């Protein structure tokens, strides 16, 4: 009887450990998506901060594309078991070029997303996010080009 209790206790512990091991999500695959989220939020902040007249439509378009990329990347990050609730520091300070900073952040975000793995659970999310980032970059480049021609 005592042996039976001991064996059943051991079996219960082993089953509990096996269940916990199966229920625990796989270790986070990689940080690329979270880094890209941070950089995209920073780029969006710089674009919103630049309030020069004459660029409203272009800024709005770039911001929309960044937000679409953020949605795609959030979905990919969630599928990888990552939290996405942190945000980038806001843009601030006079005497700098926010569109150039936004471009730099978009370049960094694109590199991070391109390194990310498109798992079977999020097939296509990475490529759609890259397409949105590329469109935002083209729009920011257009704003920079127009502003140079006006100087």
One digit per residue, pLDDT tens: the chain, 151 residues?
666 666 566 555 556 565 555 443 433 445 788 888 989 999 999 999 888 888 999 999 999 999 999 988 887 665 445 554 544 444 444 445 889 999 999 999 999 988 877 777 767 888 889 999 999 999 999 999 998 888 7
CB atoms within 10 A of CB 124: 10
Phi, psi angles (nearest 5°) of residue 55: -120, 10
pTM more than 0.75:
no
CATH number at 30-149: 1.20.1260.10
- Reduced to 3 states (helix: H, G, I; strand: E, B; else coil), residue 1 is coil
User: Which helix (DSSP H) or strand (DSSP E) does residue 37 occupy?
Assistant: helix 32-49
Return the DSSP state at 91.
Answer: P
Residue spans of the domains in the chain: they are 30-149
């Amino acid at each position: 009887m005592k042996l039976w209790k001991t064996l059943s206790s051991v079996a219960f512990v082993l089953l509990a450990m096996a269940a916990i091991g199966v229920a625990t999500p796989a270790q986070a695959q990689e940080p690329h998506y979270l880094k890209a989220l941070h950089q995209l939020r920073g780029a969006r902040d710089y674009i919103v901060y630049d309030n020069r007249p004459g660029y409203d439509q272009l800024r709005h378009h770039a911001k929309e594309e960044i937000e679409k990329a953020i949605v795609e990347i959030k979905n990919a990050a969630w599928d990888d078991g990552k939290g996405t609730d942190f945000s980038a520091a806001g843009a601030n300070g006079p005497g700098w070029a926010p569109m150039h900073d936004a471009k730099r952040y978009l370049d960094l975000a694109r590199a991070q997303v391109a390194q990310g793995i498109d798992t079977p659970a999020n097939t296509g999310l990475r490529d759609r996010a890259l397409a949105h980032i590329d469109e935002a970059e083209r729009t920011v480049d257009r704003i920079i080009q127009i502003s140079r021609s006006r100087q």
